[in-house]
Amino acid sequence: MTHAPTDRIDVHDTALPGSTGTRDALVFGGALALLLIVWQIGPGLAKWAFDYPKAWQIPAARHIGRWTKWLLDDATFGLFTFTDLTRFIAAVIDVPYRLALSLLATGFLSGQGSSAVQVFPPLSYIAVLMLVTLAGYYAGGRRLAVLVAACFGFLIVFGQWTSAMVTLASILVAVPIGVVLGLLLGLGAYRWPLFEKALTPLLDLMQTIPVFAYLVPILFFFGFGPTAAIVATLIYALPPMARITVLGLRSVPSEIRDLGHMVGCSRRQMTWKIMVPSAADALMVGVNQVIMLSLNMVIIASMIGAGGLGFDVLGALRRLDIGAGLEAGFAIVALAVALDRLSQALAQKTGAPLPAGKRRSIVARHPYLVASLAIIVVGFVLGLIIPPLQTFPEAWTLSTGGFWNEVVRWINVNFFDALEALRNLVLLNVLVPFKRFLGELPWLGVVLLLALAGYRLGGLRLALTAGMLSFLIAATGQWEKAMITVYLCGISVIVASLIGIPLGILASERERLWRWLQVVIDTLQTLPSFVYLMPVVMLFRVGDFTAMIAIVAYAVAPAIRYTVLGLQRVDPQVVEAGRAMGCTPRQILMKIKLKLALPEILLGLNQTIMFALSMLVITALVGTRDLGQEVYIALTKADTGRGIVAGLAVAFIAIIADRLISAGAARMKERMA
Amino acid sequence: MTSETKLVCRNVWKIFGAGARDRLRAGNAPDIEALIAAGMVPAVRNVDLDVRTGEIFVIMGLSGSGKSTLVRCLSRLVEPTSGEILFNGENLLDAGEARMIEIRRHQMGMVFQHFALLPHLTVLANVAFPLEVQGVDRRQREERARRMIELVGLSGKENVFPRQLSGGQQQRVGIARSLAVEPELWFLDEPFSALDPLIRREMQDEFLRLQAALQKTIVFITHDFDEAIRLADRIAIMKDGVVVQAGTPEELVLNPATPYVAEFTRNIARAKVIRAGSIMRAVEAAFPATTIRERATIAEAAPLFAGTGETIGVVDAEGRPSGILTRNDVVDLMMRG
């Protein structure tokens, strides 16, 4: 009975939004028409509204450059300088990293450089394989054990072992640090509202600034090497943990909090005995996120000195050796899948009931710990006696590299003309006109239009945010490149939505299709983006079209995922009500499901934009002319200021898009609630 | 039941919203309409209550009546905007944080509507949790926890996790936990509302059995008038943050103060509420052999008329004759519903 009102409101309201919608459409239509008129007659009247005058530019790049130089050379806390501090942090991170690296890859060495002697070998591949399989069995039973063993077996058989262990070592160091720091930041934000206010925009920037933009300052402060790479990874992977911590703590039921107060918890007890354990589920999602994002960073991190799989992919990319690149790329995927499933299974395991029992021996109480120790010892001894068990013999490794190179060559030989025709068709009829249109828009008009959109969707605050950020892009002289970024991103997002949303609609109705699609999009998302740049470049050569294909391939995943989730989350009672009223399946889809899932689909669009923007920077490698290229040039020239200004411009575009779409989705949800 | 008061609540206000305190200070009786117009929520308005030692005091109200806020004010989980809350004569609103922690650790217990069990702890660890917080050593707190688990009839479930239990069992854990510190004052915030009707009935009986043995001072929140009648020594009915009427179930049924209270009492069978002491007559002739206590309800007395004469005797708590109950009076009352 209590559900009756919701049904009624939901069904009613899906038919209603027209009234406010029409008014919005009128306002925006009017504004757009005005913009077009100004655009047509404007250039003669007010040239400054089209090209931001050089004289008014804010020399932000120079300021930032000077400031970093100051930090580097002069900044001091009295007893020690800023550089001392960063070098100290690097040294601290280096200790666990060396330990993990020695254990997994290099062995414990005595002496320096090439004259070093191995005093103690690393864990043999057999021992590691057995350890992770055991961990899989402990966390998720036989199925997970098989999966994890298969993933690590892939690394062994395809000769990726040593690189993979180097990568794993840095992940093993970065993830705990990221989790702990994220948790502490989240706890701080939860406790002190002011701290949260300061932290939120910082997290926004950390997540939206392209990584390339802060590689240079990190290099300056932390030096070239694995520790610098770990710092860069932390900046990239930590924000979701902090956010999820805050969300998790907020969603602890108020009764549980009351309980804590009623039994007289002190503040510390409240945090560590009540809040953190009660939010454990959410926190484990955060841990999983940190692991996945750290793996995402593997390749970029290798640009500033992290070795391992990322370095292999990067090297292969430079040689355009698609086979080697793909194999190393898939090795990263294998590692990601294994770690992802392991951490998820462990998360579900926390809090599973223990078998009740009396005192038992150590072996019976800690079977897994004892078994692990046994594996390490036995593995070590076996490795000494039988060398092929210590290091996998090279002769036994497989490679499919040649095969992939052949495939691409064959396609190129046989389909070159067709591919070329497709490329030219899209380029001439879609990409170029759209690019020209955006390029000619007056910056002032766009700024005002964005501010208006902000005002309509979220009030004065949002209007100011959208207006100010877009104005800053113009004022720092990034407008032209920003427009190219918007054009590439926009086209890619449209294409990705055109592919992703229909696929999502189909998949939401067909369980089997969805299961397959999930595998595909999971792979697309974990496969390092660099990897699919390679075949695309080889097929279509460098240029905007190539960039678009790579971006679409990467950004289509959230479009599909959110559409399916949104549709699956529609209240089944509403669908039932629709069926009871005699709707055809088509009507149910169009008039009920899609309308109710729209906010979710919008959020998917938002994510698609974020993904597209992050990929855009990477496609700078294939010769686009946008902000990504600017960031990349700054990186190669080690120009901190230039890189950060361009990076901030990308971040601003992301933030504007995110805020506007989120506000729209929130308003829509509110209307339906 | 002694008449000594354990908890006194004087002029307690709770107004949600910024600047509420200033508005209360300005005038003694703020304009409610103006408060609401200013976006504030007056959840508890000028409440006066006395809870006597050893009684079950029920606060009954529909959702949004402010009863949950009021009980949280009494334990200071919610900070009242103004007023006084005297616990054993001490004003809780003047107590510092350390003192409040002290009082809650040793003198108060609370049971929650949705149980509020910690999902990562076993039943035993959940019940022992308040003691763990106090720093009681493991052996001692687990021993006490086992006793409480036995008291609520869950022996054998010590090492099970909350989500493996049914709702009724989970609430038994919640009750055991709240009793582990042997509190003087026991708050129960709609403890049975989330349970199925049959289980609810069973838990109410269980609760009365526990209370007969423990003799705690209890503040019990409910939205169910039948539950209130069944359990309460005294009831306070709340509406829109105001206590509309407070009294024994009998007083409420016989003299509802407002039409709102009458709405609840209309369908209550009087025989189940009215006690023998209320309609007895003076002893005229010989005192009958069949007797019943003053506090028994008429519904309990009625079956005794079968087979005996026109009257039965009424005795007080010490067993001394205090009056007689006539068949006519009883039939009359029951006929009226």
A83-135 per-position pLDDT tens digit: 888 888 888 888 899 888 888 887 777 766 666 777 777 888 888 888 888 88
Q: Which residues in chain A are contacts of B75 at CB distance < 8 A? A: 262
CA of A359 vs chain B CAs: smallest distance (Å): 15
pLDDT score recorded for residue A499: 93
Interchain proximity A263–B77, CB inside 8 Å: no
Q: What mean pLDDT is predicted for residues A522-534?
A: 77
Least confident of A166-170, A336-340, A638-642: A638-642
Amino acid at residue number A617 = V
Percent of chain A with pLDDT over 90: 15
d(CA B319, CA B305): 20
pLDDT score recorded for residue B27: 58
Q: Collect contacts of B193-199 with beta carbons under 8 A, ≥24 apart.
A: B193/B113, B193/B222, B193/B223, B193/B224, B194/B113, B194/B114, B194/B115, B194/B167, B195/B167, B195/B168, B195/B171, B196/B167, B196/B168, B199/B166, B199/B167, B199/B168
d(CA B256, CA B244): 10
B57 burial level (CB within 10 Å; 0-12, 13-18, 19+):
buried
Interchain proximity B109–A262, CB inside 8 Å: yes
pLDDT score recorded for residue B228: 92
pLDDT at A14 over 90: no
Q: What mean pLDDT is predicted for residues B223-237?
A: 91
The residue among A632, A572, A540 whose CA lies nearest residue A300 is: A632
Specify the CATH number of the domain B272-335: 3.10.580.10
Q: Across all residues in chain A, what is the average pLDDT? A: 82
pLDDT score recorded for residue A664: 86
pLDDT at B308 over 50: yes
Give B221's pLDDT tier (boundaries 50, 70, 90).
very high
Among A98-102, A494-498, B229-233, the range with the most confident prediction by mean pLDDT is A494-498
> Exposure pattern of A326-356 as b/e (b: 16+ CB <10 Å)?
bbbbbbbbbbbbbbbbbbbbbbeeebeeeee
pLDDT score recorded for residue A16: 38
pLDDT score recorded for residue A363: 63
pLDDT score recorded for residue A18: 42
Give A356's pLDDT tier (boundaries 50, 70, 90).
very low
Percent of chain A with pLDDT over 70: 90
d(CA B78, CA B87): 16
Q: What mean pLDDT is predicted for residues B284-296?
A: 80
Q: Which fold, A82-122+158-353? A: MetI-like fold (1.10.3720)
DSSP states along B15-56: EESTTHHHHHHH-SS--HHHHHHTT-EEEEEEEEEEEETT-E
Interchain proximity A253–B114, CB inside 8 Å: yes
pLDDT score recorded for residue A212: 80
d(CA B162, CA B146): 16
Q: Pick A7-54+415-672's CATH classification: 3.20.20.70, 1.10.10.10, 2.60.40.10, 1.10.3720.10.
A: 1.10.3720.10
For the entire predicted model, the pTM comes to: 0.80
Amino acid at residue number A252 = V
Least confident of A398-402, A427-431, B172-176, B225-229: A398-402
pLDDT score recorded for residue B47: 92
pLDDT at A232 over 70: yes
Which SS3 state, helix, strand or coil, does residue B77 take? coil
The vertex-A201 CA angle with A199 and A204, nearest 5°, equals 110
Question: Maximum distance among all alpha carbons in chain A?
Answer: 90
Residue A486 near residue A71 (C-beta atoms within 8 A)? no
- pLDDT tens sequence across A555-610: 888 899 889 888 888 888 888 888 888 888 888 888 888 888 888 888 888 888 88
Q: Which residues in chain B are contacts of A264 at CB distance < 8 A? A: 100-106, 130, 133-134
Least confident of A620-629, B19-28, B238-247: B19-28
pLDDT score recorded for residue A184: 95
pLDDT score recorded for residue A5: 36
Which SS3 state, helix, strand or coil, does residue A603 take? helix
Interchain proximity B77–A258, CB inside 8 Å: yes
Higher-confidence residue of A546 and A106: namely A546
Percent of chain B with pLDDT over 70: 97
pLDDT score recorded for residue B26: 61
The vertex-A244 CA angle with A241 and A249, nearest 5°, equals 125
d(CA B172, CA B169): 5
Higher-confidence residue of A239 and B316: namely A239
pLDDT score recorded for residue A300: 85
| ipTM attached to this prediction | 0.84
pLDDT score recorded for residue B238: 94
pLDDT score recorded for residue B276: 83
Give A361's pLDDT tier (boundaries 50, 70, 90).
low
- pLDDT tens sequence across B322-337: 888 888 888 888 887 6
Token reading at B233: 């020594």
Interchain proximity A262–B129, CB inside 8 Å: no
pLDDT at B102 over 50: yes
CA of B106 vs chain A CAs: smallest distance (Å): 8
pLDDT score recorded for residue A11: 34
Give A427's pLDDT tier (boundaries 50, 70, 90).
confident
pLDDT at A43 over 70: no
Q: Report yes or no: B155 at the A interface, CB cutoff 8 Å.
A: no
Helix, strand, coil share of chain B (percent; to 5): 40, 25, 35
Residue A516 near residue A639 (C-beta atoms within 8 A)? no
pLDDT at A204 over 90: no
The vertex-B213 CA angle with B209 and B216, nearest 5°, equals 100
DSSP assignment letter at B285 = S
CA of A638 vs chain B CAs: smallest distance (Å): 50
Instruction: Find the CB nearest A259 among B112, B159, B164.
Output: B112
d(CA A581, CA B138): 62
Specify the CATH number of the domain B5-270: 3.40.50.300
Interchain proximity A350–B120, CB inside 8 Å: yes
DSSP assignment letter at A350 = T
Q: Report yes or no: B267 at the A interface, CB cutoff 8 Å.
A: no
Percent of chain B with pLDDT over 90: 46
Residue A559 near residue A566 (C-beta atoms within 8 A)? no
Residue A121 near residue A194 (C-beta atoms within 8 A)? no
What residue spans in chain B does CATH classification 3.40.50.300 cover? Answer: 5-270
Q: Which residues in chain A are contacts of B164 at CB distance < 8 A? A: 353
Q: What is the residue extent of each domain of chain A? A: 7-54+415-672, 82-122+158-353
d(CA A387, CA B326): 104
> Exposure pattern of B287-314 as b/e (b: 16+ CB <10 Å)?
ebeebbbeebbbbebbebbeeeeebbbb
Q: What mean pLDDT is predicted for residues A18-29?
A: 65
d(CA A285, CA A288): 5
Least confident of A42-51, A107-116, A289-298: A42-51
Give A257's pLDDT tier (boundaries 50, 70, 90).
very high
**Radius of gyration (Cα) for chain A, nearest Å?**
27
Q: How many CB pairs under 8 A join A and B?
A: 73
Token reading at A634: 């700054």
Q: Report yes or no: B113 at the A interface, CB cutoff 8 Å.
A: yes
Q: Report yes or no: B68 at the A interface, CB cutoff 8 Å.
A: no
The residue among B328, B330, B247 whose CA lies nearest residue B292 is: B330
pLDDT score recorded for residue B49: 92
The vertex-A650 CA angle with A644 and A651, nearest 5°, equals 85
C-alpha separations of A149 from A127, A146, A154, A337, A356 in Å = 12, 5, 8, 11, 31
pLDDT at A359 over 70: no
pLDDT score recorded for residue A44: 60
What residue spans in chain B does CATH classification 3.10.580.10 cover? Answer: 272-335
Interchain proximity B120–A253, CB inside 8 Å: no
Q: Which positions in chain A have a beta carbon within 8 angstroms of at least one beta carbon in chain B?
A: 253, 255-256, 258-259, 261-266, 269, 273-274, 277-278, 280, 350-354, 356
d(CA B217, CA B2): 11
pLDDT score recorded for residue A496: 93
Q: Which residues in chain A are contacts of B129 at CB distance < 8 A? A: 263, 273
pLDDT at A42 over 60: yes
Q: A587: Cβ–Cβ under 8 A, 6 or more apart, which residues?
A: A578
pLDDT score recorded for residue A15: 37
